Amino acid sequence: MGLVMAKKKTARAVKSVAPKIQENGLPEGLAPEDIKPIDVPMFGGSGVTVQGTGNDFSLIFTRVRPAILAKTGQPAPVALSEPAVIINVSPQTLKDLSIVLAEQVAGHEKLFGPIVSPFTRGREAVKTKTKH
């Protein structure tokens, strides 16, 4: 499902109709030359930290990077965590983003089951402790 903005600027859900897929893996009616990547830098991160003030928030996405020992050149026993990208947003945008992300996660979990991570396990452990 996607969101469509109506004339009064209210969002309504619309059902996506899956197109037929050709042998080349593309939707019917599209050829490889009809598609090109979006020309913007692409970043990825496996962790995120949020820092904020009264006026804005910074989303700091981090990635793991393999490391070597400086003296020997041998693989280090641990990897390094380094910033990959920082995205600054207003409090309003952060709230809108949180709503959209929550909806996306709920839809994903409905199809594939709960998403579990060290963070979610830790949050559940804290909730369980405070209930007792």
Q: What is the DSSP code string of 55-89?
A: S-EEEEEEEEE--B-TTT-PBPSS-EEEEEEEEEE
pLDDT at 7 over 60: no
Looking at residues 63-73, what average pLDDT do you find?
A: 92
pLDDT at 120 over 50: yes
d(Cα 5, Cα 121) in Å, to the nearest integer?
A: 36
For the chain, give the mean pLDDT: 85
Q: Rounded to 10 degrees, what is the CA torsion of 116, 117, 119, 120?
A: 0
d(Cα 61, Cα 92) in Å, to the nearest integer?
A: 20
Output the pTM of the full model: 0.61
In the chain, where are the structural domains located? Answer: 41-89, 92-132
What's the start-to-end Cα distance of the chain, in Å?
A: 39
